[in-house]
Each structure stands twice: as structure tokens, then as C-alpha cells.
């Protein structure tokens, strides 16, 4: 079994707590990537610090089990 199939099988076997934890990590990493990108200063300049943080918190990672 290849790595891709093995990981896919692990995701299917794992319970909701694994998926929730993975989603949290994905979201945190995604938000950190945006915060350290070239886009962040533009967002702050356009919307202000508070609104930019609020918009960033709306960005959530999504895991799909069918992939």
C-alpha cells in the first residue's frame, strides 16, 4: 500500500477527535501563513488591525474525507 492510500485509510479509521485536531492545526497554520505573507500588510492598511484580525479568524482550514 502506498503512502497516499495508507494516509487516506488512517483518516477514515480515525475518530472525530483526530479530524477536529487536524482541522485546528490546519487553520492555525493557514492563518500564520497569511499573517506572515505579503497580503497581511495590505489587509491591515485597507481594513485596520482589528478588522484584519477579525477577517483572519474567519479563515478556517477544511478537511475533506473524500480526497
pLDDT tens column, 3-55:
788 777 776 666 777 778 888 999 999 999 999 999 999 999 999 999 999 99
Question: What sections of the chain are H helices per DSSP?
Answer: 3-13, 16-35, 39-47, 49-58
Q: Which sign does the torsion angle of CA 30, 36, 38, 40 carry?
A: positive
pLDDT of residue 66: 65
Domain residues for the domain of 26 are: 3-58
What average pLDDT does range 57-67 have in this prediction? 79
Tell me, yes or no, whether 17 lies in a domain: yes
- First-last CA distance in the chain: 17
Tell me, yes or no, whether 65 lies in a domain: no
Tell me, yes or no, whether 28 lies in a domain: yes
pLDDT of residue 65: 67
Q: Between 21 and 56, whose confidence is greater?
A: 56
Residue pair 55/21 in contact by the 8 Å Cβ criterion: no
Amino acid at each position: 500500500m502506498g503512502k497516499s492510500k495508507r494516509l487516506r485509510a488512517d483518516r477514515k479509521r480515525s475518530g472525530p477527535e483526530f479530524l477536529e485536531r487536524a482541522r485546528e492545526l490546519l487553520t492555525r497554520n493557514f492563518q500564520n501563513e497569511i499573517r506572515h505573507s505579503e497580503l497581511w500588510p495590505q489587509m491591515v492598511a485597507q481594513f485596520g488591525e482589528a478588522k484584519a484580525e477579525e477577517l483572519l479568524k474567519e479563515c478556517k482550514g477544511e478537511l475533506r474525507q473524500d480526497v
